[in-house]
Amino acid sequence: MRFGSFTYLLKQGAKNTYLNKAMSAASVGVLTACLVIVGFSILVSENIKSIVGFVQQQNEIIVFVEDNIPSSVEATLERQIRSMDNVAEVSYTSKEQAFQNQSEKLGDLLEGYENEDIFPASYHIKIKDISRIEENVEIISSLDGVESVDAPTNVAQVMVKTERGISVACSVVVIALLIGSLVIIMNTIKITVYNRRREINIMKYVGAKNGFIRMPFLVEGMILGFSAALAAFIIVWSLYERLYMGIESDANSWINSLTSSLIPFENVIWKLVSAYLVTGVAIGGFGSLISIRKHLKV
């Protein structure tokens, strides 16, 4: 195809968009709304994962060591704990350090017990994957030298189920809205195709190739998709920034302690830009190709 013909087809696509400006504006508006919800679904999913990661870092398994075990057994125990693949960090608290820590909390209540072994030595373990906490507790409990294990298994289960549930829900919403967006674009292009069906038939009879006929409609669909993607991105950016700054500045908010784990928009800006551009243009172009397909069969 010559450059002049290509330029002509691009202009025709843009012209079609303008001539059907009422339907185009409606399509862009509805598609923008869909993409805004898609964007927020993605951001919610990413933030939930980040929050779960934050909670995961705060949770730890506490392993209490049996009293008066041989140093060789304790050394083996520590080596076994550190060698576990899901262990991120291990810290040891001696009996003396445990007593001092509790003294700072309880004050005079422990006066007179300084020379007694009230609190056992322990290992504080931070794990990588919170979903495997029960598995880790079971393994550690079976090791020699372990008196007991304390772990927030209930919290872990709730967080894992919450993350999975929200991820599934967001995925369903995203897929449903993308399908709805595709249908919207297809219906818009169908109107244009229907209005120009005679022109298309004439072009087919005089020998115009399918690619030459498709191009204006493809351009029209891509313009609609791009416009909706751009509008949705600006809306999501503005609303998310306001929400993020509001949470960050509210010192009395109950969620303020989790602010550090929320994702700043600049950390996902290019990911969202890419997703919006690809999704918008792809939906517009694909919807156009589907809409015109049957009219090319003459």
- pLDDT per position as a tens digit, 105-153: 666 655 655 555 677 888 888 888 777 888 888 888 888 888 888 877 7
Give the residue from 228, 273, 236 showing the smallest Cα distance to 27: 228
- Between CA 38 and CA 34 the distance in angstroms is 6
Residue predicted with more confidence, 46 or 7: 46
Q: pLDDT > 90: what percent of the chain? A: 1
Note the pLDDT of residue 297: 59
Q: What's the pLDDT tens digit per position in 196-250?
A: 677 677 777 777 677 777 777 777 778 888 888 888 899 988 888 888 777 766 5
Note the pLDDT of residue 208: 67
- Label residue 86 by pLDDT band (50, 70, 90): confident
- Between CA 39 and CA 271 the distance in angstroms is 11
- Between CA 122 and CA 7 the distance in angstroms is 74
104: helix, coil or strand? helix
Q: What is the pTM of this model?
A: 0.62
Note the pLDDT of residue 274: 83
Asked if 69 and 145 count as a contact pair (C-beta separation under 8 A), the reply is: yes
Note the pLDDT of residue 3: 45
Mean pLDDT value across the chain: 75
Give the residue from 35, 16, 40 showing the smallest Cα distance to 283: 35
- Between CA 295 and CA 191 the distance in angstroms is 12
Note the pLDDT of residue 107: 62
